[in-house]
A = this chain, B = another copy of it.
Amino acid sequence: MRLLIKDAAVVTLDPTRPLVNPGYVSISDGRIAAVESQLPTGEWDEVIGAQGLILMPGLVNAHTHVAMTLLRGYADDMELMPWLQTKIWPIESRIGDEDVYWGSLLGIAEMLLGGVTTFCDMYYAFDRTAQAVAESGIRGVLSGVLLGFLPSAQEDLEAAVRFVRQWHGAAGGRVQAMLGPHAPYTCPAPLLRQVIAAARELGVGIHIHVAETEQEVSASEQSTGLSPVLALERLGLFELQPVLAAHCVHLQPEEMDILARRRVGIAHNPGSNMKLASGVAPLPELLARGARVGLGTDGAASNNNLDVLEEVRLAALIHKSHRADPTVIPAEQALYLGTRGGALALGLEDVGQVTPGFRADLVLVDAHQPHLVPPHSLVSHLVYSARAGDVRTVLVDGRVVVRDRRLLTMDLEQVMAEASRRAAEIIAGERPPRR
CB within 8 Å of B: which residues of A?
69-74, 76-80, 83, 106-107, 109-110, 113-114, 271, 273-277, 279-280, 300, 303-307, 314, 316-318, 320-327, 330-331, 368-371, 373-377, 380-381, 384-385, 387-390, 412, 415-416, 419-420, 423-424, 427
Quick one: given A274-B320, A280-B321, A320-B274, are A374 and B424 in contact (CB under 8 Å)? yes
Cβ-defined contact, B376 with A317, below 8 A: no
Contact B109 A317 (CB under 8 A): no
CA distance A74 to B374 in the complex (A): 9
Complex CA–CA separation, A72 to B322 (angstroms): 24
CB-contact partner of A376 in B276, B368, B427, under 8 A: B427
Dominant secondary structure at the A interface = helix
Known A72-B385, A385-B73: A277·B373 in contact at CB below 8 Å: no
Bound Cα distance from A244 to B348, whole angstroms: 51
If the complex has contacts A330-B77, A377-B74, A389-B389, are A371 and B321 also in contact, measured as CB distance less than 8 A? no
Q: Which residue of B lies closest to A324 (CB)?
A: B277
**Measured between alpha carbons, how far is A373 from B423 in the docked complex, in Å?**
9
Number of copies: 2
**Quick check: B371 and A110 within 8 Å, CB to CB?**
yes
- From A377, which residue of chain B is reached at the shortest CB distance? B73
Check if B385 sits within 8 Å of A387, measured CB to CB. no
Bound Cα distance from A247 to B63, whole angstroms: 35
A to B CB contacts below 8 Å, 28 in the list: A72-B385, A73-B375, A73-B376, A73-B381, A73-B385, A76-B330, A76-B331, A78-B327, A107-B370, A110-B371, A113-B369, A274-B317, A274-B318, A275-B316, A275-B320, A275-B384, A276-B320, A276-B326, A277-B320, A277-B325, A279-B324, A303-B385, A304-B381, A307-B385, A369-B416, A374-B423, A375-B420, A389-B389
Q: Please, which residues of chain B bring their CB within 8 A of the CB of A114?
A: 371
Q: A305-B385, A385-B304, A387-B387 are contacts. A79–B380 as well, Cβ < 8 Å?
A: no
- Judge whether A274 and B321 touch: CB under 8 Å: yes
